[in-house]
Structure 1
Amino acid sequence: MPRNLDLTALRSFVAVADTGGVTKASGFLNLTQSAVSMQLKRLEESLGASLFNRSARSLALTGAGDQLLGYARRMIELNDEVIGRMSDSAFEGELVLGVPHDIVYPAIPRVLQAFASEFPRMRVNLVSSFTRNLKAMFARGECDFILTTEDGCDPGGETLIRRPLVWVGAPGGAAWRGRPVRVAFGAHCIFRSGALRALDAADIAWELAVESDSDRAIEAIVSADLAIHAMIAGSEPPHTEVIAHGGALPDLGQQRINLYMSDLARGEVPQRFAELVRQHYLLA
Structure 2
Amino acid sequence: MSDRVEIFEVGPRDGLQNEPEPIPVEAKVALVDLLSRAGFRRIEAASFVSPKWVPQMASSGEVMARIARAPGVSYAALTPNLKGFEAAMAAGVDEVAIFASASEGFSRANLNCSIAESLERFAPVAEAARARDVPVRGYVSCVVECPFDGAVPPEQTAHVAAALRALGVYEVSLGDTIGQGTPEAVDAMLASVLDEVPANALAGHFHDTSGRALENVDVALARGLRVFDAAVGGLGGCPYAPGARGNVATEKVAAHVEALGHDTGLDRAVLSEAAALARTMREGRQ
Q: TM-score, normalised by structure 2?
A: 0.23
TM-score after normalising by structure 1: 0.23
Q: Which has the larger radius of gyration?
A: 1
More strand by share: 1
